[in-house]
């Protein structure tokens, strides 16, 4: 494709317009998503949603520009299949990338991270977490001095109950007072040296590193 040809100067403008329309939402969306992973700001979520709408508009404009480009190039007798394919791939790539970003964001927002800290000199056995839907998540044992993290797939609304056996005694109580899925949560179950139990709960999304290490690859 001879970009310096005089007869190609007019259609090439439409080609570059299609490229810009395809790359702009990809770059903006990637930057905003990366910033959201680092700093959980509600404003970034709204900006990201706006980029999706702008991306749809730019896709439409870019597709029209690409059609005009191919029409001009065909009439001028200039080979354009490879260039058209590249531009089309860039434009279409916005959709799977958008789905990937939205899916990952939803997964992080709705994830539940439970940390179990065993500060006692004896093992926690048969630890289980009962979700609002009635489903039980088996954690197993936690060795003395060990800290374990788990990401149970809680669904529904209601309380989360923990139960375990320690030093021959069974303990059962509320870990999270009221869980409203799909909102995410963080909870901590601490067993002290004297075998007393303390729990903490937070309703906020977990960090991206925590999601990767404990939920996605944990």
User: How far is the C-alpha of 62 from the C-alpha of 23, rounded, in Å?
Assistant: 10
pLDDT (tens digit, 0 to 9) for every residue of the chain, 218 residues total? 444 455 556 678 899 999 999 999 999 999 999 999 988 777 888 899 999 999 999 999 999 999 999 988 888 777 778 989 999 999 999 999 999 999 999 999 999 999 999 999 999 999 999 999 889 999 999 999 999 999 999 988 999 999 999 999 999 999 999 988 678 889 999 999 999 999 999 888 888 999 999 998 86
User: The domain at 112-216 falls in which architecture?
Assistant: Sandwich (2.60)
Confidence at residue 2, expressed as pLDDT on a 0 to 100 scale: 47
Structural domain boundaries in the chain: 6-109, 112-216
DSSP string, 34-100: HHHHHS--HHHHHHHHHHHHHHHHHHHHHHHHHHHHHHHHHHTT---HHHHHHHHHHHHHHHHHHHH
- Phi first, then psi: what are they for 110, rounded to 5°? -100, 5
Confidence at residue 40, expressed as pLDDT on a 0 to 100 scale: 72
Confidence at residue 156, expressed as pLDDT on a 0 to 100 scale: 86
Confidence at residue 204, expressed as pLDDT on a 0 to 100 scale: 83
Cα angle 213, 215, 218 (rounded to 5 degrees) comes to 55
Cβ atoms 115, 127 nearer than 8 A: no
User: How far is the C-alpha of 48 from the C-alpha of 78, rounded, in Å?
Assistant: 39
Confidence at residue 1, expressed as pLDDT on a 0 to 100 scale: 47
User: How far is the C-alpha of 49 from the C-alpha of 149, rounded, in Å?
Assistant: 32
* Structure tokens, 66: 């690409």
Candidates 100, 107, 98; CA nearest to 212 is: 107
In this prediction the pTM is 0.80
User: How far is the C-alpha of 85 from the C-alpha of 114, rounded, in Å?
Assistant: 48
Confidence at residue 3, expressed as pLDDT on a 0 to 100 scale: 47
DSSP-derived letter for residue 183 is S
């Amino acid at each position: 494709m001879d970009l310096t040809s005089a007869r190609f100067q007019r259609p090439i403008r439409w080609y570059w317009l299609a490229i810009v329309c395809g790359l702009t939402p990809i770059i903006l969306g990637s930057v905003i998503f990366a910033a959201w992973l680092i700093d959980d700001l509600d404003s970034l979520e709204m900006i990201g949603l706006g980029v999706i709408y702008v991306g749809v508009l730019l896709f439409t404009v870019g597709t029209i520009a690409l059609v005009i480009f191919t029409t001009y190039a065909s009439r001028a007798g200039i080979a354009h299949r490879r260039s058209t394919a590249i531009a089309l791939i860039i434009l279409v790539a916005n959709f799977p990338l958008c789905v990937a970003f939205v899916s990952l964001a939803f997964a992080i927002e709705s994830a539940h991270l439970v940390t179990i800290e065993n500060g006692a000199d004896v093992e926690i056995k048969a630890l289980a977490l009962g979700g609002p839907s009635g489903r039980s998540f088996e954690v197993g044992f936690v060795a003395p001095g060990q800290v374990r993290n788990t990401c149970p797939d809680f669904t529904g609304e209601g309380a989360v109950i923990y139960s375990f056996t320690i030093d021959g005694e069974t303990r059962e109580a509320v870990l999270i007072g009221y869980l409203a899925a799909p909102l995410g949560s963080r909870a901590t179950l601490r067993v002290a040296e004297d075998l007393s139990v303390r729990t903490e709960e937070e309703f906020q999304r977990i960090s991206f590193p925590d999601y990767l290490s404990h939920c996605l690859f944990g």
